[in-house]
């Protein structure tokens, strides 16, 4: 299977063209590809397939490094836009892709960046999904003896957001997995630790469901800006500084879609596996 290694702000992907070649991605194959020591190494594996619904150009599928299939990946969406043009699958400047739960519009910009229409955020607990009796901009979450104030927001995938005084010192590796697997998020969640610098700028670190801490998470950046606007702390256009770089996020408010703009780059092309005999990717039993 031919693949392209790509990255969006250091959130890295192994991308397969499932239109021109048969691609079989069983969970154990995804885990082997994503392994940073025995495989290629990536946060997510992406698969581009033929669209199944009218009005979409492609089907865009996303698998976390742990092998689980999910419905949304913002940085991956920008990489998908670059991948389909580079592979000669389309020459369109505006591309529509279907995901597990919705549709995204990807727009190539004249400066080489890509803007993604990430859809309308889900605020109703049942849609996120999150266990709460009513919609609120802030919820209390009890974990390990602590009570945390969080926002819970769906961007096609579930997100928890916490304010921190300084992202550099945020307990991402300890609190991240506890919130990811908290029973109030029945499908687990991505956890964003956000520091508001001013009304147009936040710093953000993200513990991703199924991947651990990544250098950037586009959908969590969108959810963080939605949370900050609902708290009354942010304007409608916000620069989000992540460890891997900066995203521009825009949200006009309730009922409106979130727009995310940023780069996407090719790292290299490869073949997986080279051959059974050459394949050194498996952990020895």
- Could you give the CA distance from residue 263 to residue 74 in angstroms, rounded to a whole number? 11
Look up tokens 């936040």; give the residue.
202
Using CB under 6 A, which of 32, 47, 60, 64 touches ligand LBFN2T5F? 64
The footprint of ligand LBFN2T5F on residues 34-53 (CB under 6 A) is: 43-44
| 221 closest CA partner among 168, 252, 258 | 258
- Could you give the CA distance from residue 141 to residue 128 in angstroms, rounded to a whole number? 15
Query: Smallest distance from the beta carbon of 40 to ligand LBFN2T5F, in angstroms?
Result: 16
Taking CA atoms, 137 is separated from 58, 152, 167, 241, in Å, by 34, 8, 21, 22
Answer yes or no whether residue 209 interacts with ligand LBFN2T5F by CB under 6 A. yes
Report CA torsion sign: 211, 129, 48, 261: negative
Using CB under 6 A, which of 79, 116, 128, 211 touches ligand LBFN2T5F? 211
| 9 closest CA partner among 87, 73, 88 | 73
Element holding 2 (H helix, E strand): strand 2-8
Residue 73 annotated among the catalytic residues of the structure? yes
Pick the closer one to ligand LBFN2T5F by CB: 105 or 190: 190
- Could you give the CA distance from residue 178 to residue 188 in angstroms, rounded to a whole number? 10
- Among the listed ranges 22-30, 64-72, 107-115, 267-275, the one in contact with ligand LBFN2T5F (CB under 6 A) is 64-72
Pick the closer one to ligand LBFN2T5F by CB: 79 or 229: 79
Active-site hit among 42, 73, 79, 222: 73
Active-site hit among 42, 80, 217, 222: 217
Answer yes or no whether residue 262 interacts with ligand LBFN2T5F by CB under 6 A. no
- Which residues here bind ligand LBFN2T5F, judged by CB under 6 A? 11, 43-44, 62, 64, 70, 72-76, 157, 190, 208-211, 214, 217-219
Question: Catalytic amino acids?
Answer: 73, 217
């Amino acid at each position: 299977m031919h693949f392209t290694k790509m990255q969006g702000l250091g959130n890295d992907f192994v991308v397969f063209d499932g239109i021109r070649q048969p691609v079989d991605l069983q969970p154990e194959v995804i885990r082997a590809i994503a392994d940073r020591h025995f495989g290629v190494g990536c946060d997510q594996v992406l698969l581009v397939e033929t669209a199944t619904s009218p009005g979409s150009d492609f089907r865009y599928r996303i698998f976390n490094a742990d092998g689980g299939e999910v419905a949304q990946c913002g940085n991956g969406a920008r990489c998908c836009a670059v991948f389909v043009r580079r592979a000669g699958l389309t020459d369109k400047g505006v591309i529509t892709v279907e995901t597990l739960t919705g549709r995204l519009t990807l727009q190539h910009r004249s400066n080489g960046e890509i803007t993604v229409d990430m859809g309308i955020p889900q605020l109703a607990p049942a849609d996120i999904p999150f266990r709460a009796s009513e919609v609120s901009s802030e919820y209390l979450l009890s974990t390990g003896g602590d009570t945390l104030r969080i926002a819970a927001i769906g961007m096609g995938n579930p997100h928890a957001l916490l304010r921190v005084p300084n992202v550099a010192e945020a307990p991402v590796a300890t609190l991240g997995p506890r919130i990811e697997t908290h029973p109030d998020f029945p499908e687990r969640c991505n956890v964003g630790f956000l520091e508001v610098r001013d009304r147009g700028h936040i710093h953000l670190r993200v513990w991703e469901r199924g991947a651990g801490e990544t250098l950037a998470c586009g959908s969590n950046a969108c959810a963080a800006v939605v949370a900050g606007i609902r708290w009354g702390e942010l304007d409608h256009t916000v620069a989000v500084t992540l460890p891997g770089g900066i995203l521009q996020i825009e949200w006009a408010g309730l009922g409106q879609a979130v727009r995310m703009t940023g780069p996407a780059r090719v790292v290299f092309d490869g073949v997986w596996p080279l051959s059974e005999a050459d394949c050194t990717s498996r952990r020895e039993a």
